């Protein structure tokens, strides 16, 4: 698989997943069809499917125009089937999708929206607005329990799995993370790297599951340093994973 990353809108990412044997290509989350088609032409690849992660317009806004350009199947979560434009293939946990010689598996990851899914395969996960580099999505429709469960599933992927998320939010996310774990060495190192990349206007995505586990506060709800610092801000906070997650999410919403 070759992945081409396309920055769109203000801070969104569209991805082209290309089967190098056949040139067959899936488009993950395109809000801007023009920008996506320009890259498809430049790469000389053959778009054969759209993989939508969730129904928000900054992820599916280009579906109609892409379908007008070329008719192709549109995949998306079963629970989003009313809301994803041009959806033809509602999918859910465990469904498999082949793309040339590549195979992807669908993972249900509700929380940000109730129909959010991830596409997992070829050593990568395309997780939309659920897991971000250094952060996680806001809880627009799902419960904290759902989000914790979904993040737990992503966390269980093999450490080298490349994390391709929907937005370039990493620097701000890590600035928040530093307020909770200022002494976390891998967080400090990652933050320095990210600041440097952003100065050069380079993407900080993808990261890996292994890296995320080392600095992402939403995957570190059992970290003693994080819990200790959180308790300084919120005296009497219970330290079970759910209570810690809820507190961290709430704090990030106001950061």
Q: Min. distance of Cβ 56 from Zn ion in angstroms?
A: 4
Among 52-60, 74-82, 99-107, 176-184, the segment contacting Zn ion (CB under 5 A): 52-60
Count of positions on this chain that bind Fe ion (CB under 5 A): 3
CA distances from 31 to 13, 26, 37, 57, 189 (A): 9, 14, 11, 6, 33
**Position of tokens 């709800």?**
221
* Rounded least distance, CB 249 to Zn ion, Å: 15
Q: Which of the residues 114 through 153 are near Zn ion (CB under 5 A)?
A: 129
Determine, following the binding rule CB under 5 A, whether residue 211 of this chain makes contact with Fe ion.
Answer: no
Between CA 152 and CA 235 the distance in angstroms is 26
* Catalytic residue selected from 32, 58, 80, 108: 58
Among the candidate windows 25-33, 45-53, 57-65, 189-197, which touches Fe ion by CB under 5 A? 57-65
| Closest distance to Zn ion from the beta carbon of 30 (Å) | 14
Among positions 123-162, residues that touch Fe ion (CB under 5 A) are: 129
* Angle formed at CA 231 by CA 139 and CA 178, multiple of 5 degrees: 65
Is 58 annotated in the active site? yes
Binding piece for Zn ion, criterion CB under 5 A, among 27-35, 51-59, 85-93, 201-209? 51-59
Catalytic residue from among 59, 80, 108, 116: 59
Q: Are 38 and 61 in contact (CB under 8 A)?
A: no
Give the Cα separation of 113 and 58 in Å (integer). 13
Active site residue 56: yes
Active site residue 95: no
Q: 50 has which bridge partners?
A: 27, 74
Interface mask toward Fe ion for 159-188; x: CB under 5 A: -------x----------------------
DSSP string covering 32-93: -HHHHHHHHHHHT-EEEEEE--SS-HHHHTTHHHHHHHS---EEEEGGGTTTSTT--EEE-T
Can you say how many angstroms the Cα of residue 74 is from the centroid of all Cα atoms in its chain? 18
Residues in contact with Fe ion by CB under 5 A are 58, 129, 166
Residues in contact with Zn ion by CB under 5 A are 56, 129
Q: Could you list the active site residues?
A: 54, 56, 58-59, 112, 129, 167
């Amino acid at each position: 698989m070759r992945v081409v990353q396309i920055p769109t809108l203000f801070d969104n990412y569209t991805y082209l997943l290309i089967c190098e044997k056949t040139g067959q290509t899936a488009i993950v989350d395109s809000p801007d069809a023009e920008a996506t088609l320009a890259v498809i032409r430049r790469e000389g690849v053959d778009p054969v499917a759209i993989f939508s992660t969730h129904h928000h317009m900054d992820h599916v806004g280009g579906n109609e125009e892409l379908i007008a350009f070329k008719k192709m199947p549109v995949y998306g979560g079963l629970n989003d089937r009313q809301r994803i434009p041009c959806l033809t293939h509602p999918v859910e946990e465990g469904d498999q999708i082949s793309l040339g010689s590549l195979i992807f598996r669908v993972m249900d990851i509700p929380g940000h929206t109730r129909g959010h899914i991830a596409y997992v395969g070829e050593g990568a996960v395309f997780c939309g607005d659920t897991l971000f580099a250094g952060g996680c999505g806001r809880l627009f429709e799902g419960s904290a329990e759902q989000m914790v469960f979904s993040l737990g599933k992503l966390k269980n992927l093999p450490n080298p799995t490349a994390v391709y998320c929907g937005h370039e939010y990493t620097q701000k996310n890590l600035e928040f993370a530093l307020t909770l774990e200022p002494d976390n060495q891998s967080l400090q190192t990652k933050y320095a790297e990210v600041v440097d990349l952003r100065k050069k206007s380079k993407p900080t995505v993808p990261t890996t599951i292994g890296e995320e586990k080392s600095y992402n506060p939403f995957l570190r709800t059992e970290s003693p340093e994080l819990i200790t610092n959180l308790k300084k801000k919120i005296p009497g906070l219970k330290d079970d994973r759910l209570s810690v997650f809820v507190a961290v999410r709430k704090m990030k919403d106001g950061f």
